[in-house]
A and B are shown apart, each in its own frame.
Chain A
Amino acid sequence: MSPLARKRLGKIALNTTATLVFLFAVFPVYWMIATSFKDNDQIFTTEFIPFPTHFTFDHLDRVLTEGVAGNSIWLYLRNSAIVALGTVLVGSMFALLAATAVARFKFKGRTGFLIALLMAQMIPAEALLIPLFLSVKRLGLYDQLLGLIVVNVGLTLPFGIWMLRTFVAAVPKSLEEAAWIDGASRMTTFWKVLFPLVAPGLVATSIFSFITAWNELIFALILMSDSSGYTMPVALQYFFGQRGTDWGAIMASSTLMTIPVVIFFLLVQRRMVSGLVAGAVKG
């Protein structure tokens, strides 16, 4: 075989493999979306129906009006959004302050704090479940979205600080020093110099926290007893009935839950990967 032909063959093999990887990753997502637009005859069949040829909005309409467990899916989406946004608003503020402290100052106890951060990331959420459940009950936050927000801030903060500190450290200190020399106050320097430069990192960290809180299942299961306070991950469980599962409805709801996350992910994926790995690899 001539070298040229061999090269071309290699390229074809490479691209074919890449296409297979792409299909393996995308097909399950596609299948979820496709199922949510098929009518029941095309869903409950042993045949393979690649496209929803009997295209229907029935399932989407049904989950948004009738919903599940007594409420429309809108309510659960709203609850999830409140919890996730609340977590982000509080969490990113705290994370930014702490990240600035560890990335910009040397002080007694800094090493200890960083080690505590690392340890905190190793603690499985499952281990905190029981004591936090009891505390939330005692504080009267049971069955309230605020309780979930508080818990989610705790779950996302260590990683948020860890990730954000690399972004703060990446801003050249000379910029702040220049501002100081020009007579800007600490606060002005922070808001006018550091903050705008850290903002992209802050967005990435916030999106990470948002997604974590949006996806959180285990605490939402135990801290919410009234169905009007369910978040999406909990509400989805109620589609699995005793007498068969309404797959059209559950796929429509999963699609609604997945779309915002996928969009966020694609927006910040590059920065998030660098943050995750850099946050862990180098200081």
Chain B
Amino acid sequence: MTNASTIARGGGNSSAPERRRRSSHRPNKASGLPPKAIPYVLLIPGILVIAGLLLYPMIQVVVMSFQKVGLPQISGKRPAEWLGWENYTKILENDIFWSSLRNTIAFAVITVSLTLILGTAVGVLLNKLSKRMSTFVIIGIMSAWAVPPVAQGVIWRWLFDSEAGIINWALNLLPDWLSTLAFGRADWTGEPWLNDAVTVYLVLILTVLWASFPFIAVSVLAGLKGIPTELYEAATVDGSGPWRTFWKITFPLLKPVFAVLTILSIIWDFKVFSQLYVLIGGPTNREAFNLSMYSFAEAFRSPPKMGTGAAIAVVLTVILLIVTAFYIRQMVKSEEVQ
């Protein structure tokens, strides 16, 4: 807030160097607006949308989480009934809430780590390839990133199909003794991957990893291109191996990039919905719910319990905000929002 409205000084020679640093000020001609008002006018549509479609509903969902909102309330026959903390105590007593919470967190931790590791490795690899080879690989991995989440779910559901899926075919290729030794079975035909919560998440992790490592890889590659090659030459001359070079040069220099990529991945992976929805065929298998799916099922499967659904959504939001709070603080502290 410290540098508010320097524009108010408009109407000066804007070419004066000490003034140019300040924001745009210019002779106020052919515009009926006072210069001070211009940014606010430009912001009106944006603020209306964000306030009306994001912030206000966010407040509403918090209010609703303390209310009973069932069919009579939705149809407007009865006003919402205030319940206090009842929705929260009810979900805390529910086993499905705890399994959903566990699924959400375990999935996010595993997937974010795997995505970052694989993405970084591929980014480093791309940086070592010849120009032609790297363009070729980038186009390939970009096409995976581009696949719509619903189509991702469809594709991987097909790959893991119990009867005609190619994964079962590939597992059948393993020598029987090895397959038996490692997994306790030799014949994989008919293996129903998407019936059991644990294997559903195995497939989901693979799906999301497949679709999201390309973005990490390409971002890391962009970061690597900005590191002066002399640093690596010096490291090689000093006899540093690739592993050491990565941790002593690449990683520290790319730390800001990694911070952003981690946060973005957490935000994306915490609330994965579309892929899971397709893999388990809608909100049916309750053991395989995550918090998003649980909230959705409570609120929109009959009988609708929107108060409970809201409470679950609030829990999810609070977790996300806690995880990302330090990131926001970092951004506010740095130049970012000045």
A→B interface (CB under 8 Å):
14-15, 17-18, 21-22, 24-26, 28-29, 31-32, 35, 43-48, 93-95, 97-98, 100-102, 104-135, 137, 150-151, 153-155, 157-158, 161, 173-174, 176-177, 180-181, 183, 185-188, 211, 214-215, 217-218, 221-222, 232-233, 236-237, 240, 247, 250-251, 254, 257-258, 261-262, 264-266, 269, 273-274, 276-277, 280-283
Q: How far is the CA of A273 from the CA of B141 in the complex (A)?
A: 13
In the complex with contacts A98-B46, A120-B55, A215-B274, A186-B151 CB distance below 8 A: no
What are 16 residue pairs bridging A and B, where the CB atoms are less than 8 Å apart in the complex? A18-B134, A21-B141, A44-B164, A101-B43, A106-B6, A106-B22, A107-B4, A121-B267, A126-B273, A129-B299, A161-B46, A211-B148, A215-B150, A240-B281, A273-B219, A273-B222
Q: How far is the CA of A18 from the CA of B126 in the complex (A)?
A: 8
Q: How far is the CA of A98 from the CA of B261 in the complex (A)?
A: 25
**B159 in contact with A28 (CB, 8 Å):** yes
Distance (whole angstroms) from the CB of B105 to the closest CB of chain A: 14
Q: How far is the CA of A102 from the CA of B23 in the complex (A)?
A: 11
**B122 in contact with A21 (CB, 8 Å):** yes
**A95 in contact with B46 (CB, 8 Å):** yes
Query: Is B103 among interface residues, defined by CB-CB distance under 8 A?
Result: no
Question: What sequence of 0s and 1s flags, for each residue 293-316 of chain B, a beta carbon within 8 Å of any chain A beta carbon?
Answer: 001100110000010011001101
**A123 in contact with B54 (CB, 8 Å):** yes
CB neighbours (8 Å) of A274 from chain B are 222
**A186 in contact with B30 (CB, 8 Å):** yes
CB neighbours (8 Å) of A176 from chain B are 24
**A258 in contact with B4 (CB, 8 Å):** no
Seed contacts A123-B317, A261-B147; 19 additional CB < 8 Å A-B pairs: A18-B133, A18-B134, A22-B140, A25-B141, A28-B159, A101-B42, A102-B43, A108-B1, A124-B271, A125-B271, A126-B291, A130-B60, A133-B299, A185-B29, A187-B30, A222-B300, A247-B161, A262-B143, A264-B146
Q: How far is the CA of A47 from the CA of B299 in the complex (A)?
A: 43
**A14 in contact with B4 (CB, 8 Å):** no
Chain A interface: which of B84-92, B94-102, B324-332? B324-332
Query: What does DSSP make chain A's interface, helix, strand, loop or mixed?
Result: helix
Chain A interface: which of B32-40, B109-117, B174-182, B244-252? B32-40
**B47 in contact with A113 (CB, 8 Å):** yes
Q: How far is the CA of A277 from the CA of B256 in the complex (A)?
A: 10
Name the CB-closest residue of B to A186: B31
In the complex with contacts A124-B271, A217-B150, A283-B338, A266-B24 CB distance below 8 A: no
Distance (whole angstroms) from the CB of A230 to the closest CB of chain B: 12
Q: In the complex, which of the residues B31, B57, B306 contacts A128, with contact meaning CB atoms closer than 8 Å?
A: B57
Name the CB-closest residue of B to A100: B42
**B316 in contact with A126 (CB, 8 Å):** yes
Q: How far is the CA of A24 from the CA of B211 in the complex (A)?
A: 10
Name the CB-closest residue of B to A265: B146
Distance (whole angstroms) from the CB of B206 to the closest CB of chain A: 10
Query: Is B205 among interface residues, defined by CB-CB distance under 8 A?
Result: no
CB neighbours (8 Å) of A24 from chain B are 210
CB neighbours (8 Å) of A158 from chain B are 50, 54
CB neighbours (8 Å) of A111 from chain B are 1, 332, 337-338
Q: In the complex, which of the residues A21, A100, A106 contacts B5, with contact meaning CB atoms closer than 8 Å?
A: A106
Question: What sequence of 0s and 1s flags, for each residue 133-154 of chain B, a beta carbon within 8 Å of any chain A beta carbon?
Answer: 1101111111111111111001
**B64 in contact with A130 (CB, 8 Å):** yes
In the complex with contacts A125-B271, A215-B274, A251-B158, A94-B45 CB distance below 8 A: yes
In the complex with contacts A110-B39, A254-B151, A150-B338 CB distance below 8 A: no
Distance (whole angstroms) from the CB of B28 to the closest CB of chain A: 8
Query: Is B235 among interface residues, defined by CB-CB distance under 8 A?
Result: no
Q: How far is the CA of A18 from the CA of B136 in the complex (A)?
A: 9
Q: How far is the CA of A173 from the CA of B129 in the complex (A)?
A: 38
**A94 in contact with B23 (CB, 8 Å):** no
Q: How far is the CA of A215 from the CA of B161 in the complex (A)?
A: 23
Query: Is B186 among interface residues, defined by CB-CB distance under 8 A?
Result: no
**A214 in contact with B148 (CB, 8 Å):** yes
Q: In the complex, which of the residues A130, A153, A236 contacts B310, with contact meaning CB atoms closer than 8 Å?
A: A130
Query: Is B128 among interface residues, defined by CB-CB distance under 8 A?
Result: yes
Name the CB-closest residue of A to B128: A14
In the complex with contacts A107-B7, A154-B54, A251-B158, A126-B295 CB distance below 8 A: yes
Q: 9 tightest CB-CB pairs across the interface, nearest first?
A: A154-B53, A185-B30, A98-B46, A265-B146, A131-B60, A101-B42, A131-B57, A105-B39, A114-B337
Distance (whole angstroms) from the CB of B141 to the closest CB of chain A: 4
CB neighbours (8 Å) of A106 from chain B are 3-7, 22-23
In the complex with contacts A31-B155, A157-B49, A277-B219, A215-B125 CB distance below 8 A: no
Q: How far is the CA of A283 from the CA of B219 in the complex (A)?
A: 17
Query: Which residue of B159, B260, B267 has the most chain A CB atoms within 10 A of its CB atom?
Result: B260
